[in-house]
Amino acid sequence: MKVLLVGSGGREHALALALSGSPLLQELLIAPGSPALGRLGRLVAVAAEDTDQLCALAEKEQVDLVVIGPELPLVNGLADRLDSLGIAAFGPRAAAARLEGSKEFARDFCARHAIPQPAFAAFDEPAAAIRFAHSLNGYCVVKADGLAAGKGVVVCDDWAMAEQAIQSMLDGQFGAASRRILIEERISGPEISAFALLDGPEAVWMASARDHKRAFDNDQGPNTGGMGAVSPSPHETEALRGQIMDRIIQPVARAMAEEGTPYTGILYAGLMLTEDGPKVIEFNCRFGDPEAQVILPRLKSDLLAAMLTQTEGGLSHFDMRWSPDHAVTVVLASSGYPGSYQTGSQIKGLDALEGQPDILAYHAGTSLDEAGRVTAAGGRVLAITGLGPDSQSARARAYQGVAMIDWPEGFCRRDIAATR
């Protein structure tokens, strides 16, 4: 089979590695990919957001399947366009990807179907928004409605903080994405990310993970796209898995199908385990990044076969098998991330990591300089995954990998997967 993978980050590195292990794969094309991904497939210089060119590429190359990594092309309707060309695509259609693309859509959808979530209201002018925030004593969460690369969320302690967040978002802090905002009741409890594979009304549990979103140790500093992750989540039990499937994932799958917008592909539910059970914080329409870097190394079944089975409509017959191993990934980011940072510094030590048992180095934002040396080219640069029979041995492996990397211009958290 000829497969086109869309994207270029650490998640796509994990996807490319998993797809490469499939005996069904004949050729992997990656658009746009990165120099590191060029070792796993043929790179084509088309941006993940360039729907027209991606469709033209898929047609010209006569690919059998397009695997869409990031949310933007999904929300923009790449899968729909490929449908119209008769090319199989893995990932939800635009109408279903609204679960991630519009937080208001997701909240209204859950409200219509009694899927557990915090109280919320949506606003496009500050006065009413501020009144609602006051009614929650300012103990609330202010969110940009649209996609803001994981940054459009302010968790507020009091109404001064809430008022400031409301004003700056409605003033266009995140452009069109924050012209409309949501204000939510602030709930509490441990967070868990649940991943399922959906095919219309059918849903198959995949894995859980815990993501560490703050930039610095002890959950200090600004929110990021994710500084590390562990899978399974330390909170996962069979009973909790059952609750999440029964109360959240299966109702989503059934209701999306009933509403005429069947969901296909990976559904990532970000949940909070409250005293009243799991509640929805957000949905994403794709694998997480860096969660893919801890979930996919644990998948024993053939990822490409699973994706094909879903696109061909036989998901209930697919046997999804997982390794009993735990996985921990630690993100190495450029100093300054998630604020401004410099690129171009050299990263040493990656060669020595290759072939180390139970350690995987995923490239999220690297490049090669003229001399062929690996350099930093983004905010999140590497994700080093360790595997082991329990989370602490996986964690130890991940940090052993991190210690082999010589990159003074980068930083990482030291407490990934350290505590419950």
Could you list the residues that contact ligand AMP (CB under 6 A)? 118, 141, 150, 153, 155, 184, 186-187, 191, 213, 223, 270, 281-282
Buried residues in 34-46 as b, exposed as e (16+ CB within 10 A): bbbbeebbebbeb
| CB distance 363 to 350 below 8 Å | no
d(CA 183, CA 194): 24
Q: How far is the CB of 180 from ligand AMP (least distance, A)?
A: 15
From the list 39, 11, 1, the residue with the least C-alpha distance to 351 is: 39
Give the ranges where 285-326 is alpha helix by DSSP (H).
292-295, 303-312
Q: How far is the CB of 155 from ligand GLY (least distance, A)?
A: 15
When CB distances are held under 5 to 8 angstroms depending on the partner's kind, the choice from ligand GLY, ligand AMP, none that residue 226 binds is ligand GLY
When CB distances are held under 5 to 8 angstroms depending on the partner's kind, the choice from ligand AMP, ligand GLY, none that residue 186 binds is ligand AMP
Considering the complex, state which of residue 50 and residue 211 has its C-beta at the smaller distance from ligand GLY: 211
d(CA 92, CA 264): 5
Residue 170, amino acid: L
Phi, psi values for residue 419, rounded to 5°: -135, 165
d(CA 376, CA 374): 7
Q: How far is the CB of 97 from ligand AMP (least distance, A)?
A: 16
Binding site for ligand GLY (CB under 6 A): 150, 211, 225-226, 284, 288-289, 291
When CB distances are held under 5 to 8 angstroms depending on the partner's kind, the choice from ligand GLY, ligand AMP, none that residue 282 binds is ligand AMP
When CB distances are held under 5 to 8 angstroms depending on the partner's kind, the choice from ligand GLY, ligand AMP, none that residue 289 binds is ligand GLY
The β-bridge relationship of strands 2-7 and 27-32 is parallel
Q: How far is the CB of 165 from ligand AMP (least distance, A)?
A: 12
Q: How far is the CB of 185 from ligand AMP (least distance, A)?
A: 6
The β-bridge relationship of strands 326-334 and 120-123 is unpaired
When CB distances are held under 5 to 8 angstroms depending on the partner's kind, the choice from ligand GLY, ligand AMP, none that residue 155 binds is ligand AMP
Considering the complex, state which of residue 47 and residue 119 has its C-beta at the smaller distance from ligand AMP: 119
Considering the complex, state which of residue 284 and residue 310 has its C-beta at the smaller distance from ligand GLY: 284
| CB distance 190 to 273 below 8 Å | yes
d(CA 153, CA 165): 9
Which DSSP state fits 347? -
Q: How far is the CB of 193 from ligand GLY (least distance, A)?
A: 8
When CB distances are held under 5 to 8 angstroms depending on the partner's kind, the choice from ligand GLY, ligand AMP, none that residue 232 binds is none
Considering the complex, state which of residue 211 and residue 358 has its C-beta at the smaller distance from ligand GLY: 211
The vertex-352 CA angle with 347 and 355, nearest 5°, equals 125
Considering the complex, state which of residue 81 and residue 279 has its C-beta at the smaller distance from ligand GLY: 279
Considering the complex, state which of residue 200 and residue 225 has its C-beta at the smaller distance from ligand GLY: 225
Considering the complex, state which of residue 226 and residue 386 has its C-beta at the smaller distance from ligand GLY: 226
Tokens of 279: 């509640």
When CB distances are held under 5 to 8 angstroms depending on the partner's kind, the choice from ligand AMP, ligand GLY, none that residue 153 binds is ligand AMP
Q: Is 256 exposed, middle or buried (0-12, 13-18, 19+ CB in 10 A)?
A: buried
Considering the complex, state which of residue 151 and residue 241 has its C-beta at the smaller distance from ligand GLY: 151
Q: How far is the CB of 215 from ligand GLY (least distance, A)?
A: 13
d(CA 33, CA 321): 28
When CB distances are held under 5 to 8 angstroms depending on the partner's kind, the choice from ligand GLY, ligand AMP, none that residue 163 binds is none
Considering the complex, state which of residue 202 and residue 289 has its C-beta at the smaller distance from ligand GLY: 289
Q: How far is the CB of 128 from ligand AMP (least distance, A)?
A: 19
When CB distances are held under 5 to 8 angstroms depending on the partner's kind, the choice from ligand GLY, ligand AMP, none that residue 415 binds is none
Q: What is the dihedral of CA 226, 154, 97, 379, to 10 degrees?
A: -30
The vertex-83 CA angle with 82 and 84, nearest 5°, equals 90
